[in-house]
Amino acid sequence: MKSLIKVKRAVKTPASGPSAGYVSTIAAARLCGVSVFSIQRWFDEGLLTGAKLPGGRRRIDAKSLDAFIKKHVVLASGNPNLDQRRVLVVEDDAKLLEVMREGLVASGFLVRAATSGLEAGLALADFHPDCVVLDVMLEDLPGATIVRQIRGAQAGRAARIVAISGKAGSHDVQEILAAGANAYLKKPFTQAELLKAISSRQSARR
């Protein structure tokens, strides 16, 4: 996103109710297919306008978000179409999530980001990914449980699941693969290794 032109942020006091014209950072992140961390950073840099509430919470002006998406998000994804492969990346490390997202977008994928098992379930239903890159050490749900839930959902039955982790032992890896994951990558891994795992039918890497 280095080519983005900064705009002046207009800080407003949000009105109450659904007609106020503001959306949460979580909702904005889902619409843009990025992490909440990215939305917060773009707001702080002045790329998105809105209001900053007491306690540091941010509310994004809906018109500003719509203009931002039309100008930058579609261009970053490079003319999305039905033939592009969809990848759902589930990772609670905001910086790593953003690195993977940007790398996959640059490689021609349509990408949706999630930071928890709950967000992954919500994204799965409406995004219908061809592949799910899943951190199996999320705080809210065990990795094998999330894999089984993805496999049990209609939108996830045919998806390729690439499990990633920096701590899982061999026993955990076998459990995750038995639950339905297609491949396993141990952190740290390279962009090339991630792309290979997404595109191929390779066995798990230990």
Give residue 168's pLDDT.
60
Q: How far apart are CA 18 and CA 114, in angstroms?
A: 24
Residues of the chain scoring pLDDT < 70? 1-20, 33, 71-83, 168-171, 201-206
pLDDT of residue 171: 60
CA distance 41 to 18: 25
What pLDDT digit, counting tens, does each position of 4-13 carry?
333 333 333 3
* pLDDT at site 121: 86
- Determine contact, residues 178/143, Cβ cutoff 8 Å: no
pLDDT given for residue 201 in this prediction: 55
User: Would you state the pLDDT for residue 202?
Assistant: 46
pLDDT at residue 71, rounded to an integer: 65
Per-domain residue ranges of the chain: 21-75, 80-199
- What is the CATH topology of the domain spanning 80-199? Rossmann fold (3.40.50)
Q: How far apart are CA 166 and CA 186, in angstroms?
A: 5
Token pair for 58: 């941010």
Domain 21-75 belongs to what topology?
Multidrug-efflux Transporter Regulator; Chain: A; Domain 2 (1.10.1660)
Q: In whole angstroms, give the CA distance from residue 108 to residue 85.
A: 8
54: preceding bond cis by omega (within 30 degrees): no
What pLDDT, on the 0 to 100 scale, is given for residue 115?
87
- pLDDT value of position 135: 93
Residues 6 or more apart in contact with residue 110 via CB below 8 angstroms: 33, 77, 80, 84, 85, 86, 87
pLDDT for the residue 7: 32
Residue 169, both tokens:
């032992």
